[in-house]
Chains A and B, each alone.
Chain A
Amino acid sequence: MASQVSHEVAPREKRELTPAEERTEAGKFFSPHTDIHETERAVLVTMEVPGVSKSSIDIQVEKGVLTVKGTIDPTRYESVQPLYTEYNVGNFVRTFTVSPKIDAASISATVADGVLTIELPKAKEALARRIAVN
């Protein structure tokens, strides 16, 4: 039982953008929870963007900065009225500085169940090499 409790997911509030990174567009923007991990071949960025459909995700790489923006569909809230609310809804945005060792031309992304995975393949020159000792 004790082990079960320790595996329970703790509720966390979404992080809203701070005034320093606020945007000019109206409405709330949240910074999605993100995992970044590195494999031999690539750097993988995994972010949680619940409510964002595949067609509403915008990923751009410009001057070494990766910008991910996801917009939710507000029409689903047209005919409902809030009764109890525990979290607010809004769009997502987050930017990352990309290492020059990333092959920007071959970045790819997939989305499933509100989780966006961006694969940033390492440039050939940056791949780790095993050097044989003669």
Chain B
Amino acid sequence: MVIRVRDPFATLLGLQRAMENVMGSDWFGSRTSGSGAFPLLNVFTAGDDFVVEAELPGVKKQDLDVQVRGDTLRIQGKKTIAYDENASIHRRERAAGQFDRTVTLPDEIDSARVSADFRDGVLTLRLPRAESAKPRTVAIN
């Protein structure tokens, strides 16, 4: 599904629908390898690059460790929740602890050009495809 619309809300709606479709279908098992671990990941394509996104609210930047090797991506870290000792708890829905997840991407990654951004509790990784993995046009004599 191609999303190329001007209206930002149309963009979001289109994306939400597309994501719903991908989530709902199990066609050829087009899923992240090793799914079912924290954090949940979304993998997008942007041109030749992969964009991986994870929601990690409450995780400190310094507690996050991201490694890329070949076509595998590893995200590990810890999330701590600290409240005043004397506080009485009315409701607890947030979860804390350690996490370590590895996923395999469809292609080799150029690990030297990977960039990571952590803003408002969302980790966004831009993983450029390695030159060797890009398709090459072959000239026909």
Q: B38 to A88, Cβ gap below 8 A?
A: no
Q: A113 to B120, Cβ gap below 8 A?
A: yes
Q: A-B pairs with CB below 8 Å: how many?
A: 186
Number of interface residues of A (CB under 8 A): 50
Which residues from B are CB-within-8-Å of A113? 56-61, 118, 120-121
In the bound complex, how far is the Cα of B119 from the Cα of A53, in angstroms?
Answer: 8
Question: Considering only CB atoms, which chain B residue lies closest to A90 in the complex?
Answer: B16
In the bound complex, how far is the Cα of B50 from the Cα of A54, in angstroms?
Answer: 28
Which residues from A are CB-within-8-Å of B66? none
Which residues from B are CB-within-8-Å of A78? 3-4, 8, 11
Which residues from A are CB-within-8-Å of B9? 26-27, 74
In the bound complex, how far is the Cα of B77 from the Cα of A7, in angstroms?
Answer: 12
* Chain B residues at the A interface, C-beta cutoff of 8 Å: 1-4, 8-9, 11-13, 15-16, 18-20, 22-23, 30-32, 35-47, 50-51, 55-61, 79, 81, 83-84, 86-100, 106, 118-122, 124
Q: Which 7 A-B pairs have the closest CB atoms?
A: A114-B121, A114-B57, A74-B12, A80-B44, A50-B121, A50-B55, A48-B57
